[in-house]
Amino acid sequence: MLSYLIRRILLALFTCWAISVLAFVIIQLPPGDFVDAYISNLSASGSGISLDQAQQLRAEYALDEPIWVQYARWMRLILRGDLGMAMEWQRPVTEVIGDRLWLTMVVSIAAVVLTWLVALPIGIYSAVRPYSPLDYLFTLLGFLGLAVPSFLLGLLVLYFGFVYFNANIGGLFSPQYADAPWTGAKLLDLLRHLPVPAVILGIASMAQAIRIMRANLLDELRKPYVVTARAKGLSEWRAIWKYPVRVALNPFASTIGYTLPYVVSGSIIVSLVLGLPTVGPLLLRSLIAQDMFLAGAIVLLLGIMTVIGTLLSDLLLMWIDPRIRVDD
Amino acid sequence: MGDRVMGDGVIGDEGGGAVRAPLLSVRDLKTYFFQDDGMVKAVDGASFDVFAGKTLGIVGESGCGKSVTARSIMRIVDRPGRIVGGRILLRSAKGTGSNEIDLAQLNADGAQMRAINGGEIGLIFQEPMTSFSPVHTVGNQIVEAIRLHRAMGKQAARDRAIELLRLVGVPRPEGRVDEYAHQLSGGLRQRAMIAMALAADPKLLIADEPTTALDVTTQSQILNLLVDLQERNGMAIVLITHDLGVIAEMADDVVVMYLGRVVEEGPVDDIFHAPKHPYTRALLRSIPSVDSPPRRKLPTISGSIPHPYNRPPGCPFHTRCPDVMPGLCNVVEPPLVPVALGQMAACFLYPEVRAATAAPEPAAGGGRTPAPLLPTAVGRR
Ligand SMILES: Nc1ncnc2c1ncn2[C@@H]1O[C@H](COP(=O)(O)OP(=O)(O)OP(=O)(O)O)[C@@H](O)[C@H]1O
Ligand SMILES: [Mg+2]
């Protein structure tokens, strides 16, 4: 058990390192660098800089050095807790990201929690009453949820919210709170705004989770221990709830592992559509500007948070499944 | 066991007389599965009695409806299965005289049925591996069974669970109670299962192939345990198996099922020494005996079990029966009536059965008369 834990944590550390390399490489992939992008940006607005100035800029950010040297410098900075300067903004990356990273996680986790809250009861119902009218209805809705891209859904919701309710549904805060410091009222405002993006973001994984839960539970319902429970004198629902649902939750718990990354990456586009103050819009902009410190930091931080989420879901699985606990 | 009165629904119930009423009487039980692609008549008119302190063996080929019968009694038949007819009369000796409940009429998920399941009737079955939840300790599941039927605190129930495990011969029960099913051997698991079924001292234990998945030594240990427990607490046992050896060893009475129907019923000695129904005889011929020469192919029953979707009309066995009387067996369904003292059969070879139907004499259809067959059929083998 302990050795499993250690193995699992080492694996998580290795994954984080792999993400940092990958993040760095992918950001370097497009031709040119920040200075090229900067120059073309400047010339588009009519001004320009000399070759000398460009060279000076490159030296400042060490862009003229070989890629592994650049990576090593970046890593050294990061290990010291310094994410570097956002070149385009001329401010430290941490400052530019600010609350956005946490808000990304809040939105993503809200989407995952909502996914569970909705998918579990529906999945259970569908398995216990398979091929019932409601099961068919949920299946249909589920396929719709899977098939409609979340950004499209976001646009639709915005449109209908605006046309029929004259309400602006986007964002995570009301205007008066957007730049206000954190207070209880601001938190409340956040909670009020959270459901819409959480639903839009979660709908696809919700549909998937319903299918998974339904299939798991259908398998478990056929197992003899369900008969045992009924033969003891437990009522049908209590027997189902205590035993097969509990067993079917195990493989389901491990789905957080891939739901979270899926939701986080989905949140980037949805945030853009809904105007959420998450890292999504920032990441897109930094990629266009080839602002490697900012983009690298965002990709790395998102990656690390997903690795932590996956690790937690594995620990959860270990905690709820005695078969894994003992076998090691 | 000659004291039974087994007319349709007429049960000896003289209250304190010499006739002892059976603990459980199943009458003309019908349980069908309604599926999109057809209806499966898993149990189609089964009748039998179970007496306190006795063991009733139910035998029959795979798929003949033994397990569905057991589940029907406990009202835990899986959807889309449903009891469509018949009565399941359970007598409880509470108060004076006997009061009987028709389990078939109860709400399957209602409080009364739930009090009976686990309280009056216990169930153990074949798969000892998967009959326990893999994510709850054995003790947790036994304690639950106890507390469902006894007003007991957690600690008292746990103590009782340990006692029960000790009773069924689980070594070191104080430790085992906190283990998971996958940590126990098959034999121990089946013992723990029995302990759970006995949680509330049921008067009837239904054992559905309790030893099929176990090796021979463990099998006989478990069977001995059941006999011991029965001697100790006087419970009735319904033992479902397709192992006639187990039946010979354990049962007082035997019910032979074929395609959802009881085709023969009687005391174990009579069934083995004077089987009446051609199906019973065929079953008995197919058990290996110590005296039979080695490497001789065992006789098997010719033909195969008809598919449950298209049950043959008339006697369900007529497609495979060596004594079939065309024009009768394939037209009319033979009722189960007494054909000898204490023994009942559903076969037109016997005049009692023919008399009990308004069926025409077989001459009407085939031209072959059953008369010449009778002497050999009735004579002891
Ligand atoms: N859940 C179900 N859905 C549909 N048909 C079923 C279901 N359960 C049982 N049956 C049908 O009912 C019939 C009797 O099944 P049952 O399990 O009672 O047989 P059995 O006598 O116990 O056989 P075995 O010796 O193999 O255990 C079979 O034809 C089976 O196909
Ligand atoms: Mg069976």
Distance from CA of B316 to the nearest CA of A (A): 29
Name the pTM for this structure: 0.79
How high is the pLDDT of residue B43?
93
Q: How far apart are CA B32 and CA A30, in angstroms?
A: 68
How high is the pLDDT of residue A82?
82
Q: Which of B136, B144, B183 sits opposite A232 (nearest CB)?
A: B144
How high is the pLDDT of residue A179?
80
Residue B378 has pLDDT above 50, yes or no: no
- Render B303-371 in DSSP notation, one character per residue: S-PPPGGGPPSSSTTTTT-TT--TTTTTTSPPP-EEEETTEEE--TTSHHHHHHS-PPPGGGTTS--SG
Residue range B25-35, pLDDT digits in tens: 999 999 999 98
Let me know the angle formed at the C-alpha of B164 by B158 and B169, rounded to the nearest 5 degrees: 130
Beta-carbon count within 10 A of B91 CB: 20
Do residues A306 and A261 lie in contact, with contact meaning Cβ atoms separated by under 8 Å?
A: yes
Residue range A221-261, pLDDT digits in tens: 999 999 999 999 999 999 999 999 998 988 777 777 778 77
Let me know the angle formed at the C-alpha of B110 by B104 and B116, rounded to the nearest 5 degrees: 65
What average pLDDT does this structure show over B203-229? 90
Q: How far is CA B189 from CA A239, B163, B196, B221, B222, in A?
A: 20, 16, 10, 13, 11
Residue A41 has pLDDT above 50, yes or no: yes
Residues with Cβ within 8 Å of residue A201, at least 6 apart in sequence: A107, A108, A111, A150, A263, A266, A267, A270
How high is the pLDDT of residue B15?
42
CB contact under 8 A, A233 and B183: no
How high is the pLDDT of residue B12?
40
Let me know the angle formed at the C-alpha of A272 by A271 and A275, rounded to the nearest 5 degrees: 75
Q: How far apart are CA B279 and CA B300, in angstroms?
A: 11
How high is the pLDDT of residue B250?
92
Q: How far is CA B26 from CA A155, B63, B70, B73, B103, in A?
A: 64, 19, 11, 8, 10
For residue A244, the one-letter residue type is P
Q: Predicted ipTM?
A: 0.80
Do residues B122 and B198 lie in contact, with contact meaning Cβ atoms separated by under 8 Å?
A: yes
**pLDDT above 70 coverage of chain A, percent:** 95
Residue B1 has pLDDT above 50, yes or no: no
The size of the A-B interface in CB pairs under 8 A is 78
> Which of B64, B242, B259 best tests ligand 1's pocket when mutated (most atoms within 8 Å of CB)?
B64
Domains of chain B, each with CATH number or no CATH = 23-120+202-381 (3.40.50.300), 128-201 (no CATH)
What average pLDDT does this structure show over A132-144? 92
Q: Which residues pair with B91 in a beta bridge?
A: B100
Residue B371 has pLDDT above 60, yes or no: no
Residue range B275-291, pLDDT digits in tens: 999 999 998 887 766 56
B residues 76-115 closer than 8 Å to A (CB): 76, 109, 114-115
How high is the pLDDT of residue A177?
81
Cα pseudo-dihedral B290, B292, B297, B299, rounded to 10: -90
Which H/E stretch holds residue A60? helix A51-60
What average pLDDT does this structure show over A82-101? 83
> Which of B29, B33, B84 best tests ligand 1's pocket when mutated (most atoms within 8 Å of CB)?
B33
Structure-token pair, residue A129 = 């009453």
For the ranges A45-49, A71-75, B78-82, B95-99, which has the lowest average pLDDT? B95-99
CB contact under 8 A, A225 and B119: no
Ligand 1 atom nearest to B35, measured from its CA = 4
CB contact under 8 A, B131 and A224: yes
Q: How far apart are CA B127 and CA B133, in angstroms?
A: 12
> Which of B26, B32, B41, B66 best tests ligand 1's pocket when mutated (most atoms within 8 Å of CB)?
B66
Q: Which residues pair with B345 in a beta bridge?
A: B264, B337
Ligand 1 atom nearest to B80, measured from its CA = 3
Which H/E stretch holds residue B215? none
Residue range A8-35, pLDDT digits in tens: 889 999 999 999 898 888 777 767 777 7
How high is the pLDDT of residue B93?
62
Residue B54 has pLDDT above 50, yes or no: yes
CB contact under 8 A, B123 and A326: no
Residue B123 has pLDDT above 90, yes or no: yes
Residue B310 has pLDDT above 90, yes or no: no
CB distance B67 to ligand 1 below 6 Å: yes
Q: Any CB–CB contact under 8 A between A228 and chain B?
A: yes
Q: What are phi and psi of A128, to 5 degrees?
A: -75, -30
Residue B94 has pLDDT above 70, yes or no: no
Residue B311 has pLDDT above 70, yes or no: yes
Q: Which of B114, B121, B183 sits opposite A235 (nearest CB)?
A: B114
Q: How far apart are CA A234 and CA A145, in angstroms?
A: 36
Residue A295 has pLDDT above 80, yes or no: yes
What average pLDDT does this structure show over A166-195? 82
In chain B, residues with a C-beta closer than 8 Å to the C-beta of A322 are 134-135, 180
How high is the pLDDT of residue A140?
92
What average pLDDT does this structure show over B216-232? 91
For chain B, give the number of residues.
381
Which among A278, A292, A217, A248 has a CA at the least distance from the CA of A25? Answer: A292
Residue range B158-174, pLDDT digits in tens: 999 999 999 999 999 99
Q: Any CB–CB contact under 8 A between A247 and chain B?
A: yes
Residue B149 has pLDDT above 80, yes or no: yes
Structure-token pair, residue A184 = 């209880």
Confidence of residue B294 (pLDDT cuts 50, 70, 90): low
Distance of CA A66 to the CA centre of its chain: 33
Confidence of residue A319 (pLDDT cuts 50, 70, 90): confident
CA–centroid distance, residue A135 to ligand 2 (Å): 30
Q: How far apart are CA B273 and CA B244, in angstroms?
A: 13
Residue B10 has pLDDT above 50, yes or no: no
DSSP state of B117: B
Domain ranges of chain A: 2-93, 99-321
Q: Which ligand is nearest to the CA of B71?
A: 1
CB contact under 8 A, B119 and A322: no
- CATH entry 3.30.70.270 includes domain A99-321: no
Mean pLDDT of chain B: 83
Q: In three state form, how does the secondary structure of A273-310 look?
A: HHCCCCHHHHHHHHHHCCCHHHHHHHHHHHHHHHHHHH
Q: How far apart are CA A250 and CA A316, in angstroms?
A: 9
